[in-house]
């Protein structure tokens, strides 16, 4: 009845695996543990030879050593979520100790703990962002260019 080649171009067949998976396979990333560990340390998850970050949280657009597209990885809200999930478990210990009456910090000690909490959040955020970028790079999930 109808000739499939006569369909207009917007009806092209979707390919499987999608383009992103083929790109990821070309990169030959290390295993999951190694990829995440390199990201946590702030090193390029692909080559481990150059830093991910240009400053505290700004990501290099491409790796200076291997050219991995670090800046195209859409880490978005995952790093702060992971950082809060980890750090707030430590805070919960103090909250429980306080309400059970085992620990009553002085005002000075409470201030010190607040500063430590802020520093812990900042360190955890950077480590989580590196790990998420490593995971996204291994999965080949690049940000869509609009």
- Where along the sequence are the contacts to Zn ion (CB under 5 A)? 44, 46-47, 63, 65-66, 68
- Distance, in Å, from the CA atom of 28 to the CA atom of 83, rounded to the nearest integer, reads 28
How many Å separate Cα 28 from the centre of its chain? 19
The helix-helix angle for 32-40 and 107-139 (nearest 10°) equals 140
Q: Which is nearer to Zn ion, 36 or 68 (CB)?
A: 68
Question: What is the closest distance, in whole angstroms, from the C-beta atom of residue 52 to Zn ion in the complex?
Answer: 9
Q: Which is nearer to Zn ion, 12 or 28 (CB)?
A: 28
- Distance, in Å, from the CA atom of 130 to the CA atom of 46, rounded to the nearest integer, reads 12
Question: What is the closest distance, in whole angstroms, from the C-beta atom of residue 126 to Zn ion in the complex?
Answer: 18
Q: Which is nearer to Zn ion, 64 or 122 (CB)?
A: 64
> Which residues 6+ apart lie within 8 Å of 144 measured at CB?
none
Question: What is the closest distance, in whole angstroms, from the C-beta atom of residue 49 to Zn ion in the complex?
Answer: 6
- Distance, in Å, from the CA atom of 87 to the CA atom of 117, rounded to the nearest integer, reads 8
Question: What is the closest distance, in whole angstroms, from the C-beta atom of residue 44 to Zn ion in the complex?
Answer: 3
Q: Which is nearer to Zn ion, 8 or 31 (CB)?
A: 31
């Amino acid at each position: 009845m109808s000739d499939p080649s006569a369909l207009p171009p917007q009806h092209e067949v979707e390919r499987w695996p999608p383009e992103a998976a083929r790109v990821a396979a070309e990169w030959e990333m290390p295993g999951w543990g190694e990829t995440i560990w390199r990201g946590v340390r702030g090193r390029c998850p692909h080559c481990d030879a150059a830093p991910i970050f240009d400053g505290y949280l700004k990501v290099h657009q491409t790796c200076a050593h291997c050219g991995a597209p670090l800046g195209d990885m859409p880490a978005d809200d995952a790093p702060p979520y992971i950082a809060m999930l980890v750090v707030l478990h430590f805070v919960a210990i103090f909250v429980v100790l306080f309400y059970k009456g085992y620990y009553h910090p002085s005002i000075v000690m409470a201030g010190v703990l607040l500063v430590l909490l802020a520093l812990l959040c900042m360190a955890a955020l950077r480590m989580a962002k590196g790990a998420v970028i490593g995971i996204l790079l291994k999965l080949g999930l690049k940000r869509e260019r609009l």
